[in-house]
Structure formats: structure tokens, C-alpha cells
A and B are shown apart, each in its own frame.
Chain A
Amino acid sequence: MVEALLLALRARDAIDPDEVAIVAGLVDEVAMVPAKRTVLKRGVPLSHSILLIEGMMCRYKDMRNGSRQISAIHVPGDFLDLHGFTLKHLDHDVMALTAAKVAYVPHDRLTRMTEQYPHLTRLFWFLTNLDAAMHREWEVSLGQRSGAARTAHLFCELYTRLALVGKAEPDGFAFPINQTELGECLGMTSVHTNRVLRDLRERGLLDFRRGVAKLLDPEGLKRVAEFDPAYLYLDSRPR
């Protein structure tokens, strides 16, 4: 149930068997979520956090005119709302991009963990810091990168994060979202997104069609994106 989370944590620090048992014991119930279902609404009081086990989800905010900004994509092993443990309600919504499987982690269990297990507490703190680092990188993308670089960066990031939890293929990954949703990540319309994808395909960098991403030239894609994975903190060290 918590294997992907453990893979993500073990890439950053050693975890002993006792801690594995504690993390596994955090999970209360498991649920299936259909694609496109909003699982967390802004402003709603929270008594648990949600761990994504399978599928992809996103954090987003809607504007009055109907436009939507997706501010993060979640992959297996991510908490959707670990920040909700201290915030107690969210300022954004969370939606399933694909059919998904989630685990509920009651806040009272997290409270007990923070009282009894300082190392795990620091690692969970690390996870919310990591979320913030990814948000900063998306901010740089939206403010400074061109459409092509922004798109390339998103695919570099997702490939790296999915590979970490064993969900990537050697040359790409399954990414079953449509071009409207991809555009909502990138601050572009579906039509503009399609044009950028065509450009990246013609340059021999990336082929994204029908929910499958193929990195045709990973090094070239990284160059275009100015992708430096340092913000993903992939080094294992005592934390």
C-alpha cells in the first residue's frame, strides 16, 4: 500500500524496518476514485490526509471565467494534501486525472507519529518542502520558460518522478491526460499546447500522443527545458 511512498522516501534517506511498519500503520482505509472526480475541495475541513497509491491527480484552481490552472501533478507515492495536516483546510481543489487508488491517513495518526517518531516527522516535513520546491519550479516555468521549454520541463519532471517510483518505461511513460488538461498545467489553451507538442515532435525531442509520452531525445529535451533535477532533492542523506 505504501510501497511507492517508501521508494520516494528511500531515495532521500535510509528508513529502518520499524519505521516502515509505522508508515504502513498510518493508513486507515483505501478507496478507488474514478477519473475526473474532485476528491478535495477548497475550504472543506480536513481530518485526514490522502496518499496516492495508483493513478495521477492534480492540484488546481478555477477562475470565474472558467479557466483552470493546474499547479501540481501527483504521481503514486505522493500525498495529495500532507499540508492539510497543519492547514486543516485547503486553498485549492484536488482532482483525479485518471482512475486512481488512494489511502486515507487520519490526522490523529499523524499527530501520534509526530509525537513519537522525530525522524519520520522530519521526512514528512521534507515531503511538504519538496512540494514547495516543485511549485517554485512550476512558477519559474509559467513566468520565464517559453511554451516549448515549459512543456519539455514538465515531461522531464514527470519522467524523473515516475521513474523513482517504478512507473516509467525506459523511453517514456503513460500519461493519460488530454491536451486541454496538459494546457491547464502549462498556462496554454489545448490548441496552443497541440502546436507546441507538434514543434517538440518535429524537433525530435518528445512524442506525446494518445496518453503516451515518449522521450525521443532525453538529453535534448533537458537542454530545451533547462531541467536541473536538483529541486527534486534526489540525494540520500540523513535528514
Chain B
Amino acid sequence: MPRFFLHIHNGHGLVHDEEGSDAPDQAGARVLALDSIRSIVAEEAREGLIDLTGRIAIEDEDGNPLSDVCFPDAFELRMPANG
């Protein structure tokens, strides 16, 4: 399986992925990015924060940028109409 590097960019700066993760293909790497965003935001939500300002930059094994997944891409957002 090819390896992808998923770097998180957010308000705190960059979390560089040194090790990478295996995924079947680029679509699989995107699914991992979406799962990861949901996991990170869910954890922060337990503390009362929903911060969707970040993105995950996906690179291939040679460091070529493939795509960006923005945090809002991982959610269907529903807000009160008069909010």
C-alpha cells in the first residue's frame, strides 16, 4: 500500500507528519483525513470548543502535495436559523 503524509495546519501552526500512514489510494488518504478531522474536533467539542479553521494537507511519499482537506469538509453543519 502506498504511504501518504497528512500534515495538520491550524491556528496552533503545523503538526508535521514524519511517519505517514498507509492507504490503498488517494481516496483512502482523503477518508483518513476526514476521519481524523472528525476525531480531533469531537475531542475538542467535549471541552466546549468547535474550531473548524484548520486543514489537512495530503502529500505523497515524495513530498508532492496532492490535496487539502479543510475541516468543514468533514461535517454537515446545522445551525439555528436565528443564530
Contacts and interface: CB of A to CB of B under 8 A. Distances in A.
A140 interface: no
Interface stretch (A8-16, A113-121, A186-194, A227-235): A186-194
A224 B17 CA distance: 24
A98 to B, nearest CB: 16
B13 to A, nearest CB: 10
Interface residues of B, dominant DSSP: mixed
B61 interface: no
B51 to A, nearest CB: 13
A195 B20 CA distance: 12
B36 A189 contact: yes
B19 A192 contact: no
A73 to B, nearest CB: 19
Nearest to B17: A194
Contacts of B6: 190-191
Interface string A167-205: 000000000001110000000111110110010000000
Contacts of A179: 19, 21
B21 A192 contact: no
Interface string B11-29: 0000111110110000000
A210 B19 CA distance: 8
Interface residues of A, number: 15
Contact of A191 (B22, B33, B43, B47): B33
A71 to B, nearest CB: 18
B39 interface: yes
Contacts of B39: 188-189, 192
B70 interface: no
A189 B15 CA distance: 14
Contact of A192 (B22, B40, B47): B40
A146 interface: yes
Given A179-B19, A180-B22, A189-B39, A195 B8 contact: yes
A209 B39 CA distance: 22
Query: What 4 A-B pairs come out closest when comparing CB atoms?
Result: A191-B36, A189-B36, A190-B21, A192-B39
Given A147-B43, A189-B35, A194-B8, 5 more contacts: A190-B36, A191-B36, A192-B39, A192-B43, A194-B19
